[in-house]
């Protein structure tokens, strides 16, 4: 899969520098010949695709199917950072993301996309009209022949572009289009907003259904104070790479842990460890911990990158009267997680 990043500026064409990488893990290099990216046989879909949930999968599956049938280059146009991170609305709560950029690129690659164009989203770019966006990017720079869009897709300044705009532009620029209907599960529309709300309400199992997979975080194992080890429950403390990633609410969760091609069960605590912090005055109670106890595992994994998938919420975090009562509860939590083996 080829990944291309447009870095916008104030020029009349709407384009500044352009960078490209031919392989997912290679570094970006400058591309001088922009025409090398233009192909009139492109089938394109556009969106932020946060979460890459089943509704998004329906759009991508349609694009892949049509692209293969018509022998077209399969293209995704997306934006970075997420527009809501740039156009912060004081009346709305700050958005947290279901997927990082790297996670999204991985999903696109697994789906069979040929090229991902990433447009650098800025306040200046947000002022681009719907018509100019279509002409300058999709028509002139990529080569639109067939467009696949979601049922509620809008684009351009103040979201002025919609399906009626697409109909007019398709006649002017001679491209075909297909609007994909919403996906409903139990009569509820699958959307990134719905999934964020489910996670924030600790409904991880329902969120997994809408995502089509377990919700997950990826991070680096960092050194901790080893208090868990002294209690008989050694934990891996996790540092998340993206501060905008949505972390489930404080509490204890049953999880799957993926490390070095191993899949293991674990129980994860998210929160401030009130019982332990109470007995260690040097620790700040304002510091939130993400720590996972991995069942039947005793290897040193400091500095390793691990993936944690959330299976279900077990209980809220609470302050116990004594460390011994905390340990008793941890043993009960472990039994709850072990039942998932069956």
SS3 for 338? helix
Residue of 3, 13, 1 whose CA lies nearest to 141: 13
pLDDT for 112 beyond 60 = yes
Strands 115-120 and 73-80 turn out to be parallel
Residue of 37, 41, 55 whose CA lies nearest to 118: 37
Banded pLDDT at 191 (limits 50, 70, 90): very high
pLDDT for 159 beyond 50 = yes
Which DSSP string do the residues of 72-127 spell out, in sequence order?
A: -EEEEEEEES-HHHHS--TTSPPP-BSS-HHHHHHHHHHHT-SEEEEEE--TTGGG
pLDDT for 150 beyond 80 = yes
Looking at per-residue pLDDT, the higher value among 150 and 342 belongs to: 150
Quick one: pLDDT at residue 8? 62
Structure tokens at 257: 């842990």
Residue of 71, 66, 63, 28 whose CA lies nearest to 47: 63
Q: What are phi and psi of 182, to 5 degrees?
A: -65, 155
Give the distance, in angstroms, between the CA of residue 176 and the centroid of all CA atoms in the same chain.
29
Domains and CATH numbers, the chain: 2-185 (3.40.50.620), 215-341 (2.40.30.30)
Distance CA(317)–CA(309), nearest Å, equals 19
Using the structure block, give the residue that is written with the tokens 């941890």: 330
Using the structure block, give the residue that is written with the tokens 């290897």: 299
- Distance between first and last Cα of the chain: 39
Quick one: pLDDT at residue 22? 47
Residue of 114, 111, 104 whose CA lies nearest to 44: 114
């Amino acid at each position: 899969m080829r990944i291309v990043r447009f870095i916008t500026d104030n020029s009349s064409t709407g384009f500044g520098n352009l960078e490209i990488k031919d392989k997912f893990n290679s570094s970006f290099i400058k591309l001088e010949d922009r025409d090398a990216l233009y192909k009139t046989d492109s089938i394109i879909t556009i969106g932020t695709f946060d979460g890459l949930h089943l509704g998004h999968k329906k759009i991508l599956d349609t694009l892949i199917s049509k692209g293969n049938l018509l022998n077209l280059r399969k293209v995704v146009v997306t934006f970075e950072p997420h527009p809501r991170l740039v156009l912060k609305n004081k009346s709305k709560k700050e958005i947290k993301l279901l997927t990082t950029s790297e996670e999204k690129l991985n999903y696109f690659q697994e789906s069979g996309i040929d090229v991902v164009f990433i447009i650098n989203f800025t306040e200046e770019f947000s002022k681009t009209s719907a018509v100019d966006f279509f002409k300058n990017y999709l028509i002139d720079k990529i080569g639109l022949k067939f467009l696949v869009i979601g049922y509620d897709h809008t684009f351009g300044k103040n979201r002025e572009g919609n399906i009626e705009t697409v109909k007019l532009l398709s006649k002017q620029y001679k491209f075909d289009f297909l609007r994909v209907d919403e996906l409903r599960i139990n009569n509820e529309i699958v959307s990134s907003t719905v999934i964020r709300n489910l996670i924030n309400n600790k409904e991880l199992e329902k969120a997994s259904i809408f995502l089509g997979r377990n919700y997950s975080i990826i991070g680096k194992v960092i050194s901790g104070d080893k208090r868990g080890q002294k209690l008989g429950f050694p934990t891996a403390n996790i540092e998340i790479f993206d501060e905008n990633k949505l972390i489930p609410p404080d509490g204890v969760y049953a999880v799957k842990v993926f490390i070095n091609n191993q899949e293991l069960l674990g129980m994860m605590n998210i929160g401030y460890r009130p019982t332990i912090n109470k007995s260690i005055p040097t620790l700040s109670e304002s510091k939130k911990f993400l720590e996972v106890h991995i069942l039947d595992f005793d290897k040193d994994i400091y500095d390793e990158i691990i993936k944690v998938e959330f299976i279900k919420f077990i209980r809220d975090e609470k302050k116990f009267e004594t460390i011994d009562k905390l340990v008793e509860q941890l043993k009960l939590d472990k039994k709850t997680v072990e039942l998932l083996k069956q």
